Structure 1
Amino acid sequence: MNTAVNLSPKHLLLALLIVVIWGTNFVAIALGLKEMPPFLFCAFRFGFSALPFVFFLPRPQAPLKYIIAFGVFNFALQFGLLFTGIHLGLSPGLASLVIQVQVFFSIGLAFLFFKEKPSFLKVLGSLISFLGIVIVASNIGGDVTIIGLTLTICAALAWSSGNLITKKINAQSPLSLVVWGNLAAFPFMALASFFIDRPNAIASSIQNISWIGIAALAYVVYMSTHLGYGLWGFLLKTYSTSAVVPFTFLIPVVGFISSVFFLREEFTVWKFWASFLILAGLVFNLFEKKILKCIRMNKLNKRIKSLK
């Protein structure tokens, strides 16, 4: 693993591509949820993400319990909770923002289990970004519901747990891990859909699905899941968690912009400040070395001036 904080230019572009894919993914989720209940949507996602690819990609060389845990936390729990949170009233743009609390969970869990000690600037950046989440929580009502916000925060915790399991598995092929993880998540979500969504709602959704619903499902399967998670697993394998995870701070920016453009979601002043604080925290995380270098140069110049 490369323990350097800064990503190479090529890998930086990959990280930004993931941001765009996952940011616009919230639009696809909102469109899909208009035609399918959340658990059915998730079950379709996991099923099409796994099949027929499991027949062509070898199972990751890891204990089966880790692969199942990866599928449960990174897919079944994360997206089951996220889709339900959006379905129960949290707007897609805000969901893309709130899910970023996974950064705090990821860095904290990485410190506890992998001894990846975050620097002072990373902690400071995380605290600044957390203020943005506080602003969201203080605006309950309208497109922010308590149940939607709570479920999305729980989804963030599931995502961060999945990040740790990803590092534990250390799969040679990140795409293979994604495909097998979806296979592990599928039966859990299929059962949840059967007992919660109920067979009548399932049949009605399948019979009345439009091309928009099909396109939304295709996007979350092939773009968000296969391409996005395949690249994400590669970056987590190559760099430390604290170097990769902060890029997800950019996802709500793309999420808000795409939601405003495609879904006509209102972008209020408080949403602007919440997004601004999250971006400010990202700056501290991404440009830590440059900030420290500037501080040292400033101290050095002061010493030189004092000697004169």
Structure 2
Amino acid sequence: MSPRDCSLAALVALLWGLNFVVIDVGMAGVPPLLFLALRFVLVVLPAVLLVPRPAAPWRTVALVGLFMSLGQFGLLYASLAAGMPPGLAALVLQAQVIFTVVIAAGVLRERPTLAQVLGIGVGTVGLLVVGLGRGGHVPAAALLLCLGAALSWGVGNVLSRASGVAGGLSLTVWSALVVPVPALALSLLLDGPDVVLAGLGSLGWQAALSTVYTAGLASLVGYGIFNTLLGRNPAAAVVPWILLVPPVAMLSAWLLVDEVPGAAELVGGAVMLLGVLVALRPAPVEAVDRPLAAAPH
């Protein structure tokens, strides 16, 4: 990855790390799937009227939205509602790095370099350190939902990479079309119309600002950049940067909502940062993967 792409990947990690605190604050009193539907309404409108449709089949665009947006965030928000602490959710969700690299290696034949494998391994150890230090009282259902979100994200990453779309913003906007209606329908089914109406009535300035942040910065800016990076770099070179999200999430929770991290979080976060540095070591010229061939339409 070029220095410019590395800077963009670090920006995405910053935006997404802050996102967990923003979601936790904004979702108070609002059903999670309703909150998800509102977020993606703002992602789609009015951007879908201004951004050209990506040069990919409709099926590919829909599948990216199904896995990267609806699946990932539907399961993540459900996990938070089921008792998963936001800081720990940020960590468990990084299992997507492993899922992405493994799926990309099997489906796209993108072999990770030795440094990337070692870095991901080190980052995973850091993830386990933090998880073992904090996860003793997390409901099993919440943990499984969060792991499901990570798997869905990993599949979405590979679909985005395989699409061959160079402009990440177009794919982000148009793939988001599949989110609002199913999310609202699931909220009505699982929460009930009365709860949904009460949630709409309780929307305040915190929920409004949270929705604007998650839709504008986390989704449009963050996923626009992320999908662009996946379009021009091997998946194994991009996704290790997302291991920076949990340390950012923990630091922001510490500074903004006084959630003081424990020893396991600090040690594990440091190990995860080390894993990123190892994974991002430049590969020898002869070991760099060849560009991915255009995906079949």
TM-score of the superposition, structure 1-length normalised? 0.87
Q: Does residue 211 of structure 2 align to residue 217 of structure 1? A: yes
Partner residue in 1 for 2:136: 141
Amino acid at match of 1:122: Q
Question: 1:278, 1:243 → 2: CA distance?
Answer: 16
In the alignment, the residues of structure 2 paired with residue 35 and residue 181 of structure 1 have an alpha-carbon distance, to the nearest angstrom, of 28
| Count of matched residue pairs | 283
Q: CA deviation at 1:75?
A: 0.5
Partner residue in 1 for 2:158: 164
SS at match of 2:102: helix
**Separation (CA, whole Å) in 2 of partners of 1:172 and 1:164:** 14
Can you give the 5+ residue segments of structure 2 that lack an aligned partner in the other structure?
285-297
CA contact (8 A) 2:92 2:131 kept: no
SS in 2 for 1:141: helix
Q: Give the equivalent residue in structure 2 for 1:33.
A: 27
User: Unpaired segments of 5 or more residues in structure 1?
Assistant: 1-6, 291-308
Q: CA offset at residue 174 of structure 1?
A: 1.4
Q: What is the letter of the counterpart of residue 79 of structure 1?
A: F
Aligned: 1:255 with 2:255: no
2:13·2:244 contact (CA, 8 Å) conserved in 1? yes
Which residue in 1 is equivalent to 2:4? 10
Q: Where in structure 2 are the equivalents of 1:220-299 lying within 5 Å?
A: 220-289=214-283
Q: Tell me what 1:186 maps to.
A: 180
* TM-aligned CA deviation for residue 64 of structure 1: 1.4
Shift of 1:239: 1.1
Q: Offset of 1:171 from its aligned partner?
A: 2.0
**CA root-mean-square deviation:** 1.6
Letter in 2 for 1:233: N
SS at match of 2:112: coil
For residues 125-161 of structure 1, the C-alpha deviation after alignment (integer angstroms, 9 at most, x for no partner) is 222222233334434335x332222211111111110
Q: 100, 104, 113: which one pairs with 1:110?
A: 104
Deviations 1:242-287 (A, max 9, x none): 1111100111111000111122223111112221222221121012
Question: Which is further off, 264-273 or 131-140?
Answer: 131-140
Choose from 11, 19, 23 the match for 2:13.
19
Match of 1:221, as an amino acid? A
Please tell me whether residue 203 in structure 1 is matched to residue 191 in structure 2. no
Q: Does residue 78 of structure 1 match 2:72?
A: yes
1:23 partner amino acid: G
SS at match of 2:29: coil
Could you say which residue in structure 1 is the equivalent of 2:82?
88
SS in 1 for 2:84: coil
